[in-house]
Amino acid sequence: MTALNATVTPMWAVPLMHCQLPAHESLNAELARLFLAMEAEGDRHRDRERRDTQVGIFESHFALHRRSDPCITQLFGHIGQALYGFVQGINQYSDVEMANIHLDMHSWFHVTRRGGFQSVHNHPNASWSAIYCVDPGDGAEPSSGIVRFHDPKNDSLMYRDPGNARLQPPYLLGAWQLTHRPGQLIVFPSYVLHEVFPYTGQRPRIVVALNAWAQWRTLPA
């Protein structure tokens, strides 16, 4: 049989970026001390909107990146560099084009205590979202505090057989789960539905999250 001249195109793939901040241990220790102190002050730093998707989570205000604490400045310096590089690469912008783009964001931290979780949600009015792990906590169960990302292809699991049972990236079907590691940053499209499984540890689980959107500084000709 004559071989067909066929090509495969990765249509509708979902990009998720992972990176690990170098020498994050001392930074994370400073961040943890700051966030736990802010949590202890209660409503002074808590976001005013209560979300029915959250149980057992302290959620801060949404302007964390604007604080002047050295550890916050250092963290968002790393995040900004990673995010700009990712946006430029994924869109194939030139350096000139990228210099004409301003990225704005909301950012906050979560402290999750034993039994805390967040049900399925996404992040409207942003193009990219990110999670940085300060401390994953000490839950013994494999599912403790994991993040499950749901397949945005709504009908992708309507039928499974050996023809599609082992599809490899970027053609995966169904949910994908992330176990946090200290110093890990993950960036994902804001439209992707995700949830956080119940946390079973004793030590607080601490993460930083953000939503980012882009604007042209000057409209291209």
Q: What is the pLDDT of residues 188-215, one digit of tens each?
A: 999 999 999 999 999 999 999 999 999 9
Which residues does residue 132 pair with via DSSP β-bridges, in sequence order? 185, 208
Question: What is the per-residue pLDDT for 2?
Answer: 65
Query: What is the mean pLDDT of the segment spanning 144-153?
Result: 96
H or E element that contains 115: strand 101-121
Give residue 106's identity as a one-letter amino acid code. H
Nearest Cα to Cα of residue 130 among 36, 46, 15, 24: 15
Superfamily of domain 17-154+168-216: q2cbj1_9rhob like domain (2.60.120.620)
| pLDDT grade for 5, boundaries at 50, 70 and 90 | confident
**Residue 85 pLDDT > 80:** yes
SS3 160: coil
The model carries a pTM of: 0.95
Question: What is the per-residue pLDDT for 41?
Answer: 97
